Chain A
Amino acid sequence: MAASPMEQFEVKPLIPIHVGGYDISFTNQALWMCVVVGAVSLFMAVALSKRSVVPTRMQSMAEMSYEFVANMINMAAGEEGLKFFPLIFSIFLFIAASNFFGLIPGSFTVTSQIAVTFTLTALVIITVIVTGFIRHGFGFFRLFAPDAPIYILLFLVPLEVISFCARPMSLSMRLFANMLAGHTMLKVMAGFVIALGGAGGAYTLLAAAPEVLIVGLTALEFLVAFLQAYVFAILSCIYLSEALHLHDNH
């Protein structure tokens, strides 16, 4: 019997460290986060070490990712949103890289842990709230009251408050559940291959069918990995834009 499909998400301590009753062990989760951050930093450092007017392949990759995120922020949050470029760019690259690293067989998907995705979301939401209060003071609460007649506001304000409070949950849950569902699906399909292959006789030939399906699903997972990083970044931009412009601009 193959291992459970959920086994890949287990956080295992690699170097046990206990300080004052708290377990702060260096886990496989921490290891892969270090790998992701290291790989992204290394890529950026190497790609931009020799800056030339006619870019090399690596330099143009780095420039493309920069322009992609800059365009996205400009479109969703306007000129003012570009102040938050470092935040959005780091979040986008971190999520995209950890999603792609998670697709390496045998690796650990950092973003499949709700602790990680919720921390990233908390970072974005706290930035949104702090930015809103710095720019508008208590006028930030106008976010919950768009221009509408008073009898519509009675219904609209509770709805806006609920939707604002649901954002951290929906943003973190989307990334976490997408990664969890995709990787579980791949493992379940892999379990089919092993079970059919071990069954013997004509069943062994049938094992090719889920095998082919896995190849297709892996391609789909690459799309999802990029798409989720994109969606996370663009939604962060939109939330920031609402904090910057309230309901005026858009």
Chain B
Amino acid sequence: MDMIHAAKFIGAGLATIAFVGSGIGIGVVFGNYISGALRNPGAAQSQFTNLYIGYALCELQGLFGLLIALILMYT
């Protein structure tokens, strides 16, 4: 029984690695937006929606990891 508990906590910890990908993704999204906006400031405003959609989609992948961690810890 203790082994299962220990394994659950280790698994929950490992699941948080998902945020690595999420962090990289958000960095790419915002970095490319800013470099694009500096080259063509006129078009920057029109891409604002796309920026936040990209951000939301990247963030979701990390949050799935968090969810798995929570399921492992509390069930």
B67–A173 contact, CB under 8 A? yes
Collect the chain A residues with CB atoms within 8 Å of residue B53's CB.
231, 234-235, 238
What's the dominant secondary structure at chain A's contact region?
Answer: helix
Nearest-neighbour CB distance to chain B for A228, whole angstroms, equals 8
Nearest-neighbour CB distance to chain A for B56, whole angstroms, equals 4
B63–A178 contact, CB under 8 A? yes
Binding site for B on A (CB under 8 A): 6, 72, 75-76, 170, 173-174, 177-178, 180-181, 227, 230-231, 234-235, 238
Interface residues on B, range: 10 to 19
A177–B52 contact, CB under 8 A? no
Contact with A along B44-58 (1 / 0, CB 8 A): 000001001101100
State in angstroms the CA–CA spacing of A230 and B56 once bound together.
10
4 residue pairs, one from A and one from B, having the closest CB atoms: A177-B63, A231-B56, A174-B60, A170-B60
B63–A76 contact, CB under 8 A? no
Collect the chain B residues with CB atoms within 8 Å of residue A178's CB.
59, 63
Collect the chain A residues with CB atoms within 8 Å of residue B64's CB.
173, 177
B72: Cβ under 8 A from any A Cβ: no
Collect the chain A residues with CB atoms within 8 Å of residue B29's CB.
none
State in angstroms the CA–CA spacing of A235 and B49 once bound together.
10
